[in-house]
Amino acid sequence: MTILDGKATAAALKKEIAQAVQHIKDNGGKTPHLAAILVGNDGASETYVNSKERDCREVGMNSTVIRMSAAISADELLQKVDEINRNDDIDGLIVQLPLPRHINEQQIIEAIAPAKDVDGFHPLNVGRMVTGLPSYVSATPDGIVELLAHYNIETAGKHCVVIGRSNIVGKPIANLLALKATPGDCTVTLCHSRTRDLKSLCLQADIIIAALGKPEFLTADMVREGAVVIDVGITRIPTGTENKFRLVGDVKFDEVSLKCRYITPVPGGVGPMTRVSLLKNTLKAAKKEIFG
């Protein structure tokens, strides 16, 4: 059994990105620049945005965080998005979600210029991804594909069962792995809350991607010998000690890992890969790789 070390893989990829950024600078190019809009004072959002800034710094990219009050109107936010869309110095723009309830998230997402949509949430990028065109792929599915690629895991002709049909993980990874691509060319089964006989489907899978957000849902009796298991779940479980918690994935790691050929740990699996994907997309944006 091999543990898919997302932390080490992400570190290696970050190094490559840092070199690419340095190469751009050495050739007199503009430093890649990521802008993040943070609305309100949500603690988790604050943490995410801070780590994105830190990641940028580590690979030599510029970053800007625009903080706006939770009381802002949708129009004011749209204006800010538009301003950044037209700012040639900024290559990538993310609007940290969730937004306050009075703002229509989808409207904001669709206001971001697709060429700067490094989160890959704009439906234009989703549609391009599904049809196999160059696109920004969102962080989690992109991180999974990178991890499979890094470990040279064969996917062509394999049966991949995806559990969970969210717009940010399940649907895009199902579409990505069904593409005529490497990694890709999988037979993909997309399962969800309405799926009957999930166990029997999982037992047929060469690759299982668990992305339903239920701690330790996938147990050993659902996994066949030699499977590849990718755990996207990450739930905080209180330890009993005040303010202490442990992170638990969607996979019962201790028992499932004994049957796997490859498995991701939680934490240290898919998580660190997602952070690198944003940097990768920002680099692509700076190089105008997707939209020319």
DSSP three-state, residue 129: helix
Residue nearer to a second copy on the CB measure, 32 or 114 = 114
H-state helical runs in the chain: 6-26, 43-58, 74-85, 105-111, 123-130, 139-150, 170-178, 198-202, 253-256, 270-286
Helices (H) and strands (E) in the chain, counts: 10, 11
DSSP three-state, residue 292: coil
Number of residues in the chain: 292
Catalytic, out of 5, 91, 117, 119: 119
Catalytic, out of 52, 80, 280, 284: 52
CB of 95 to a second copy, least distance (A): 16
CB of 12 to a second copy, least distance (A): 29
Residue 111, both tokens: 């206001």
CB of 241 to a second copy, least distance (A): 39
Catalytic, out of 96, 171, 250, 280: 96
Residue nearer to a second copy on the CB measure, 66 or 130 = 130
Asked if 22 is an active-site residue, the reply is no
Return residues touching a second copy (CB under 8 A).
Answer: 106, 122-133, 156-157, 159, 165, 167, 171, 174-175, 178-180, 185-192, 194-196, 201
CB of 55 to a second copy, least distance (A): 26
CA distance 38 to 66: 6
Residue nearer to a second copy on the CB measure, 22 or 106 = 106
CB of 104 to a second copy, least distance (A): 12
Task: Please name which of 214, 230, 258, 255 lies closest in space to residue 161, comparing C-alpha atoms.
Answer: 230
Asked if 52 is an active-site residue, the reply is yes
Residue nearer to a second copy on the CB measure, 49 or 111 = 111
Asked if 96 is an active-site residue, the reply is yes
- C-alpha distances in Å from residue 265, one per residue of 6, 87, 108, 153: 8, 40, 34, 16
Residue nearer to a second copy on the CB measure, 125 or 264 = 125
Known catalytic residues are 52, 96, 119
